[in-house]
Structure 1
Amino acid sequence: MKTRAVRIYGENDLRLEDFELPEIKEDEILARIVSNSICMSTYKAVIQGAKHKRVPDDVAANPTITGHEFAGEIIKVGAKWQDQFSSGEKFAVQPALNYKGSPYAPGYSYHYFGGNTEYTIIPPEVMELGYLLKYEGEAFYEASLAEPMSCIIGGYNAIYHTESNNYVHKMGIVSGGKTALLGAAGPMGLGAIDYALHADRKPAVLVVTDINQPRLDRAACLFSEEEAARQGVELHFVNTAKLDDVVQGLKELTDGTGFDDVFVYAPVQELAEQGDQILGKDGCLNFFAGPTDKQFSAQVNFYNIHYSPTHIMGSTGGNDQDMRESLKMSAAGKLNPATMITHVGGLNSAANTIQNLPDIPGGKKLIYTGIDLALTPLKDFAKKGENDPRFTKLAKIIAENNGLWSAGAEKYLLNNFAKKN
């Protein structure tokens, strides 16, 4: 069958093109991709081309499909997997395969397997690993965003604490403790707030910092102090640019004890050092942000590491259990990944979005692969409605959902913005 996809041929060489998919083998699955959210990791792969560890050396001759935060519907199941999967089932994929030690992953390495395509062939290793994950929720975008949410959840699960005189690590944030999310008013930070408020293990105090007041205002609108209080969490949003003494100001929110858990969501030296300085006894800092500078470093208080003792670690990505938790919570309405989404577009806008991602403000950019639509900020739908009544309807649906994307908006888009042949 024919599909249309955005494929990488080399450094800064992306092409939207039609090509034929082969017939699936008995150990493969054919699927229709509905949505794919754009990740900064894809941008990094595109600017590096074959130099990227996940992109094959022969990509110029054998291009690979981009996109790894995708969701869709199973179309045809090879004989080997017919007792486990059926056509019509919704799915997401845990993309961090690490199959037999290989770095290859969807969105980087496969000729027929990725997210920025109308149809894809899921290879056998995905099913063998148990990484083809069924999704019981309504909206496809929630399943797409399960991958970035799983990274957030993985960060919460990877952070740890110790016991004096016992050689054990207690994994996870301190339940009923004090947590700080630094530089966290961006898309991943919003997901981290959502999870902190609605997961089974919650802090008693949650402090969110940023230096961008409009982003903080949006976060406060999405997650009110009243809603947090109903979850048993005391929530504070702090613009640290307005504090004369950031460390002192943040510590005062803990009654001077410091924080049990600190997450740094931006690769900024000053932010990393602030995170270290606000740790309390046995506090743990998770440096979640991924720097592009291989020499990135910051000062650390080793006195506190030795005597307090504080801990510093980092996490990147989540595992299949983290992703299953995200899918389950989203399907149950406990998480709302739509808080991350600020732009929506069709497959025709994916290549340009990827190549210019660092320069496009806002949060997650969501691509619907079966339609043609210029990448559009949600806030611009009303204006576009002046020339197209479909956008007026979409703007109304978004406005009725606190300015957020929704299952209703997705359904209307898919039903009314068909690809032009």
Structure 2
Amino acid sequence: MKTTALRIYGEQDLRLETFELPPIQPDEILVDIVTDSICMSSYKAAKQGARHKRVPDDVAEHPTIVGHEFAGRIVEVGEKYRGVWEVGQLYGIQPAINYEQAPVGVLSAPGYSYQYIGGNATYAIVPKDVLEQGCLLPYSGDAFFKASLAEPMSCIIGAVRAHYHVKPGTYQHLMGIVEGGNMALLAGCGPMGLGMIDYALHGPRQPRLLVVTDIDDARLARAQELFPREVSEASGVNLVFINSLKENLLQHIKDLTNGHLIDDVFVFAPIPAVFEQGQQILGFEGTLNFFAGPTDTSLSAKLNIYDVHYNYHKILGTSGGNTDDMREALQLMSEGKINPSAMITHIGGITAAAETILHLPNIPGGKKLIYNEFDMPLVAIADLERLGAETEGVLGELYRGLAPLVAQHKGLWSTEAERFLLGFREQLRYKG
């Protein structure tokens, strides 16, 4: 079986190549990969090459496939897993192997460390390590792109699961947000914040009040459009959007909560002032999750230690999700309860993957979604209508067909848009 894959050879050295995969072993599974969502972690791996902790030292001689947020179908099942997995079955992937339970010497991850598995490939071999740790996960949703976004959604689910409260006078940790409580997402109108809104409204536990802040009116208006009042009210949630640059957030929160303030705060920007604002609005026995991932190792903020001691404020941070979080994300997507479409701002083909990864910090917007069989540039979903009018040939036909489908879903990528795109496989298939 031949595959076309984007492989890393060293620092900023990514190459799109077609090569032969070896026959699978009895404890392996062959998959096709339809979609891969590009993550900033792939940029970091490409930038660092063999200096990255998950990229092998001999990557120049034995290149590995990049990409770890992917989904597709089972193509061939090794003897050991027949009856467990079936040809044609859909899957998602948990790229973070549980190192504590993994066999001795296994310190690797799909998308960084393996020669034959990574998200930016048409076909891949799921190895023994990944299968034994239960990191290949079944999926039964209506679109591949949703399963590709199960990994970032699992980070959101993991953050909510890591939250905890301790009733004064006891030593029992009550895990999760307060059901029917007050919740706030600060700087919460970016891609991950929108995913958290969706999970808070449609996950297993809802707050009574959900406050979402940002300092950009356009982002706030877009979030309100995606989550209108009728949607939040259907979940029993009072969803309130606040421009924290223009309003007194603390006073507004006091008015909304009759002075009780917030039980669960999530901070989505690595900015000290936003962290400090988060603690200011924490109520008695409240918990703050500094969810944003800073790159500045000396980043610091003021902490009200009095409130930590007397008002039982708790501060934590989370990064990533585990396999159970991935399973929940895939299940909720399969059931149609959550939809990560709001995270996606760009689509492209495998021929655009290398440039996208290498320049990811400079490309605005949210998630960049790659369809691996396609030879097409990376384009912003918001530009499809304009591009349809400006572009000739097959690509122009594609853009003109996609634009109304996106418009029907408030400017979001959708199952219908994906199906339309996949109908162009033969015209736009990469033949390199």
TM-score (norm 2): 0.94
Conserved 8 A contact 2:242-2:249: no
Which one of 227, 240, 246 corresponds to residue 242 of structure 1? 246
Give the aligned partner of residue 313 of structure 1.
316
Q: State, as a whole percentage, how many aligned pairs show the same letter.
A: 55
Residue identity matched to 2:429: K
Give the aligned partner of residue 406 of structure 2.
398
Q: Which 5+ residue runs of structure 2 have no aligned equivalent?
A: none
Which one of 104, 109, 113 corresponds to residue 108 of structure 2? 104
CA distance in 1, matches of 2:50, 2:294: 20
CA distance in 2, matches of 1:127, 1:78: 11
Answer with 386-395 or 118-127: which moved more.
386-395
Residue identity matched to 2:39: C
Cα–Cα, structure 1 residues 75 and 214, in superposed 2: closer, same or farther, change >3 Å?
same
Deviation at 1:399, TM superposition (A): 1.1
Conserved 8 A contact 1:53-1:103: no
Deviation at 1:212, TM superposition (A): 2.1
1:414 aligns with 2:419: no
SS at structure 2 position matched to 1:166: coil
Cα–Cα, structure 1 residues 251 and 46, in superposed 2: closer, same or farther, change >3 Å?
farther
Deviations 1:282-325 (A, max 9, x none): 10011111111122221111111111101001111111111111
Give the aligned partner of residue 164 of structure 2.
160
Give the aligned partner of residue 223 of structure 1.
227
Cα–Cα, structure 1 residues 282 and 118, in superposed 2: closer, same or farther, change >3 Å?
same
Residue identity matched to 1:395: A
Deviation at 1:401, TM superposition (A): 1.7
Conserved 8 A contact 2:351-2:430: no
Conserved 8 A contact 2:98-2:133: no
Give the aligned partner of residue 353 of structure 1.
356
1:32 aligns with 2:32: yes
CA distance in 2, matches of 1:148, 1:302: 32
Conserved 8 A contact 1:98-1:104: no
Residue identity matched to 1:92: G
Deviations 1:184-232 (A, max 9, x none): 1111111000000111210000011111222221111100122111211
The number of equivalent residue pairs is 420
Deviation at 1:24, TM superposition (A): 0.9
Which one of 272, 280, 290 corresponds to residue 293 of structure 2? 290
CA distance in 2, matches of 1:405, 1:284: 34
The aligned runs of 1:193-204 (5 Å cut-off) are 193-204=197-208
CA distance in 2, matches of 1:56, 1:271: 38
CA distance in 2, matches of 1:295, 1:56: 29
Give the aligned partner of residue 17 of structure 1.
17
Residue identity matched to 2:306: Y
CA distance in 2, matches of 1:72, 1:116: 12
Answer with 28-37 or 161-170: which moved more.
161-170
The aligned runs of 1:243-262 (5 Å cut-off) are 243=247, 245-262=248-265
CA distance in 2, matches of 1:72, 1:290: 29
Give the aligned partner of residue 375 of structure 2.
372
CA distance in 1, matches of 2:147, 2:233: 28
Conserved 8 A contact 2:184-2:264: yes
Give the aligned partner of residue 5 of structure 1.
5
Q: Which 5+ residue runs of structure 1 have no aligned equivalent?
A: none
Q: RMSD of the alignment, in Å?
A: 1.3
